[in-house]
Amino acid sequence: MAATLPPPRLLPSGDSAVTVEFSRTIDEDANQRVLALDKALAASPIDGITETVPTYRSLLVHYDPGKIGFDALGEKILAIATQPLPPVTKARRWRIPVAYGGEHGIDLEDVAKALGTTPDDIVARHVGGDYKVAMIGFTPGWSYLSGLDKSLHMSRRQNPRLLTPAGTISIGGVQAGIQCLAAPSGWHLLGRTPVRTYQLHRNPTFLTEPGDRVTFFAIDHKTFEEMDRAAEAGEIIAEQVVA
């Protein structure tokens, strides 16, 4: 019989939320437990929970204190969170096109210089990765990806930019990311994708979700412009791979 898992920390977050913390650092095993707990609570809801928000290392659980108290909720959560992890199910897989370098990836050459290699080698390493959507956050559709090749790990920019383009594909620290909307960023910009991971009037509004797998492939800048027009019209440009 599989042993139960060590309990997470339960941290009060105001008077109507609890943070279920599995780790204090970015950790793949902790993220797996976060997503497993999130799915378990969705499958067997606890009365009083109003929303759950998965992150890399913790699950934020919003609840109605008029229906359930912190202690009672904590007991129920711990009973689920310490159970053996369920078998890993097949995740959705996405192939996402990226126009690397030039105006679409203004940091590509600097990243190559910093790592003592060429822009083409950086692109090859990046497209060779198999990534997991660990969480969605910061802005709508911003997909934080684990699985970045260790050879691409590097500190974030010393001076963050106040605005970076929508669709930016970037790396920062040990992470990779897909930025859907224009926003500030201290990450290194390798390229841009025409894919909209968030589009308000499209069905589905959000394309990626935690647990999805992602790979990238390179396109030229002319193809980017063509795909970008199609995506703006609501077409889903990303290729969903059938496993």
CATH number at residue 68: 3.30.1360.40
Residue 91: per-residue pLDDT:
85
- Domain-embedded: residue 2: no
- Domain-embedded: residue 170: yes
Q: State yes or no: pLDDT of 52 exceeds 80.
A: yes
- Given pLDDT bands bounded at 50, 70 and 90, which one contains residue 2? low
Same domain, residue pair 64 and 105: no
The residue out of 57, 81, 105 marking a domain boundary is: 81
Q: State yes or no: pLDDT of 40 exceeds 50.
A: yes
Same domain, residue pair 153 and 105: yes
Continuous H helices in the chain = 28-43, 70-81, 108-114, 119-127, 221-232
- Given pLDDT bands bounded at 50, 70 and 90, which one contains residue 220? very high
Q: 210: cis peptide before it, omega within 30°?
A: no
Q: Which of 86, 26, 73, 11 is nearest to 47 (CA)?
A: 73
- Domain-embedded: residue 191: yes
- Domain-embedded: residue 65: yes
The residue out of 59, 81, 103 marking a domain boundary is: 81
Domain range for 195: 93-241
Same domain, residue pair 53 and 164: no
- Domain-embedded: residue 3: no
Q: How many domains does the chain have?
A: 2
- Domain-embedded: residue 4: no
Residue 120: per-residue pLDDT:
98
What tens digit of pLDDT does each residue of 199-214 get?
998 999 999 999 999 9
**What span, in angstroms and rounded, lies between the C-alpha atoms of 126 and 48?**
43
- Domain-embedded: residue 25: yes
- Given pLDDT bands bounded at 50, 70 and 90, which one contains residue 3? low
Same domain, residue pair 70 and 163: no
